Structure 1
Amino acid sequence: MRTCELTDVSEFTLVDRDLPTIGPDEVLVRIDRVGICGSDLHYYQHGENGGNIVEFPHVLGHEAAGTVVEVGDGVSRVGPDDRVAIEPGLPCGECEYCVGDGTYHLCEDMEYMSSPPVEGALTEYVAWPAEYLYALPDSVSLREGALAEPLSVAMHACQRGGVSEGDSVLVTGGGPIGQLVSEVAMARGAETVVLTDVVPEKLELAESRGVDHAVDVTESDPVETIREHVDERGVDVVLESSGFGGAIETTTEAVKRGGTVVFVGIPLEPEFPTDIVETIGQEYDLKGSFRFSNTYPAAIEGIETGRFDVDSIVTFESSFEDTQAAFDRAAEPEEVKGVIRVSDEL
């Protein structure tokens, strides 16, 4: 099979590898679509992400969907020719987080596709446990199935923020996660959603997808926009999806007293500038949002019913042979989401 290896910083090499063999509870999946995630770009550009360091060669890609070609003897969940989305995290199944209610994403022994040393989906075939495969309805494309992963990130972030009917919400960052976080917030009943960014194309996309106010922070103060057009006290929930220092500083300025701030985007500089006394006095809830758990069925159903439109965040799709050019393009500010077409299935 063909595999796209990251062989150095900013260098992909297409190589031949043997097909993986499957165990009794595993499935061999022919990979069809792989989304390019921000973490993939960090690994590509810097050789590390969030403290995880690549040992070359390495295979990236964890937003994946494909077609089942073989199943192990113990598998009944899916069968040959089924189209499936792949949940990329494999928890240990035994620790307190794994046996807890909806907390397996916090497993300290989690093996996550494409996060070193676990290799990813930029390859023609992947062996994966059947437990973490989800059959796609006929109306859901393989590209949409691959994007169930970032949609799941957005769903978990909004759950962490407790976004509910009538809330006002600020989303900082108009990348793929910010776009999807906004959509999930609206689907959960948020009355007003404000999204900020510095790239006109991303702001235009957010407006076309239904946000109430798309604010270019190079031209307008988002806090003033909120006070003038939403609520002079601030918003109920802030979902920080960019990882940029300026946006992080805005979070506690924009949220109302007793409101909630959720940090989703991974910053390059981890320091959080905040006034502890103010945080106490204003009684902000400051939360992190890390990956997801138990979201795939609802994500796929939401795509099928039209509740979530993941396809419209895709700004380009590239062939497997053009993976390196695709990653370079995905790093351009105006691009939102790139997808690699590993095979030519629809």
Structure 2
Amino acid sequence: MRAIVKTGDGQVGLREVADLPGPGPGTITVNVAATGICGTDRNEIRGTDGMIPRILGHEVSGVVAAIGDPVPGVPIGVEVGDRVVMETDAYLCRACHWCRTEQFNRCPHRTGIGRTAEGGLAEKINIRADAVHRLPDSVPLLEGALLEPLAVAVHSVLEGPFRVGPGSTVVVTGPGTMGQLTAQVCTAVGARVIMVGLDRHEARLRTAKDNGAYAAVSSESTDVRALIDSLTDGMGADHVFECSGSVAQVNSGLSYLGKGGKLGLVAFYKEPLTIDAMQVVHNELEIVGCRGKRASSFRTALALLDEGRLSLSPLIGSVRSLDEWDEAIEEVGRGLKVIMLPGGAALDSPLP
């Protein structure tokens, strides 16, 4: 089969690889329909230290092709032919506290597809039978490739210490895909959302506004704190979700919060954070790391989609075949959300 592979010498390319074996006990085989590429994938391609030879890709939708023998404790909730999306946890110890409480993102022994296990930028993938979720009929396979980052947004907003809901004022910094999804989840549960970007993000800010944000502004041309104060009688935001990966935006986010506010770090950072600790102390602020997602995150994300409370198609900037992987990576570098079609087959929705 064909796949995008990073080899041990750091080379990346489209290659013919051995066909997958049939699914083993407790696993299933999925014919991959669509795979999203995110900034993490781009970083892997550009030379992340410690990367071992691996098929890349972890934002996957597809169709169940085969199901292995059942294993006690591993439920199989799908049938051959079902349209599915998948969690990224390839292996779990199933014995630690985190596994027993379905907090799989914290299992110290987990492996993840596209990084420490074979990924989804390939025609097929084998995955844990209990790692897949049926797509509602209302959700096309193309949009299904966005379920993994959407689940991250759901986990960040709804499964941590944040009590986001009606009456909440939320600031989201960084209008990329992760920021857009985070903003939509906040809006879906009734929060008033202010999306913050830069002047060069005009189109993305417009997308956020079109998808329900109360306001979408550039911090280079708008006094964001003044805007927040005008909406909150000077109280400040209840929550800030930092999705840009910029250390500067972390400190800006702290300045947007009211007393007792919470700052969620959704992005990954390439340099250490330096913050004003006394600002945190005096205002009783909380800084919370938001990492990964859980099975419950997917269930909630799929329910919100099926209820029509989210809009994913406007976030897809480009659709590419595996043959166009070079162009796809270049587009990711320009901030587009790219979906690749490893199977090369027509999907169940028109392409953008």
Give the TM-score normalised by the residue count of structure 2.
Answer: 0.90
Q: Which letter does structure 2 place at the counterpart of 1:132?
A: A
Q: CA deviation at 1:20?
A: 2.9
Instruction: Verify the 8 A CA contact 2:118 2:125 in the aligned structure 1.
Output: no
Equivalent residue of 2:114, what SS?
Answer: coil
Equivalent residue of 1:262, what SS?
Answer: strand
Distance 1:237 1:345, change over 3 A: same
Give the TM-score normalised by the residue count of structure 1.
Answer: 0.92
- 1:64 to 2:78 alignment: no
Instruction: Verify the 8 A CA contact 1:5 1:15 in the aligned structure 2.
Output: no
Q: CA deviation at 1:9?
A: 5.7
Q: Which letter does structure 2 place at the counterpart of 1:113?
A: I
**Aligned counterparts of 2:216 and 2:274: Cα–Cα separation in 1:** 25
- Alignment correspondent of 1:128: 127
- Alignment correspondent of 2:283: 282
- Alignment correspondent of 2:304: 302
After superposition, the C-alpha distances for 1:135-165 in whole angstroms (9 at most, x for unaligned) are 2222221122221111110111112222122
Equivalent residue of 2:33, what SS?
Answer: strand
Q: CA deviation at 1:128?
A: 1.0
- Alignment correspondent of 1:25: 26
Indicate the larger mover: 254-263 or 242-251: 242-251
Matches within 5 A, 1:251-266: 251-266=253-268
- Alignment correspondent of 1:224: 226
Q: Which letter does structure 2 place at the counterpart of 1:262?
A: G
Instruction: Verify the 8 A CA contact 2:14 2:323 in the aligned structure 1.
Output: no
**Aligned counterparts of 1:13 and 1:64: Cα–Cα separation in 2:** 18
Matches within 5 A, 1:63-142: 63-74=59-70, 76-89=76-89, 90-100=91-101, 102-115=102-115, 117-142=116-141
- Alignment correspondent of 2:339: 339
Instruction: Verify the 8 A CA contact 1:20 1:125 in the aligned structure 2.
Output: no
Ranges in structure 2 where 5+ consecutive residues have no aligned partner: 348-352
- What is the aligned counterpart of 2:329 among 315, 327, 330? 327
Instruction: Verify the 8 A CA contact 1:174 1:242 in the aligned structure 2.
Output: yes
- Alignment correspondent of 1:197: 197
Q: Which letter does structure 2 place at the counterpart of 1:216?
A: S
**Aligned counterparts of 1:329 and 1:146: Cα–Cα separation in 2:** 17
Determine what percentage of the aligned residue pairs are the same residue.
29
RMSD: 1.8
Equivalent residue of 1:180, what SS?
Answer: helix
- Alignment correspondent of 1:53: 50
**Aligned counterparts of 2:29 and 2:280: Cα–Cα separation in 1:** 50
Equivalent residue of 1:223, what SS?
Answer: helix
Instruction: Verify the 8 A CA contact 2:3 2:322 in the aligned structure 1.
Output: no
- Alignment correspondent of 2:151: 152
Instruction: Verify the 8 A CA contact 1:154 1:184 in the aligned structure 2.
Output: yes
- Alignment correspondent of 1:181: 182
**Aligned counterparts of 1:210 and 1:78: Cα–Cα separation in 2:** 34
Instruction: Verify the 8 A CA contact 1:20 1:126 in the aligned structure 2.
Output: no
Ranges in structure 1 where 5+ consecutive residues have no aligned partner: none
Distance 1:234 1:311, change over 3 A: same
Distance 1:59 1:331, change over 3 A: same
Instruction: Verify the 8 A CA contact 2:22 2:68 in the aligned structure 1.
Output: no
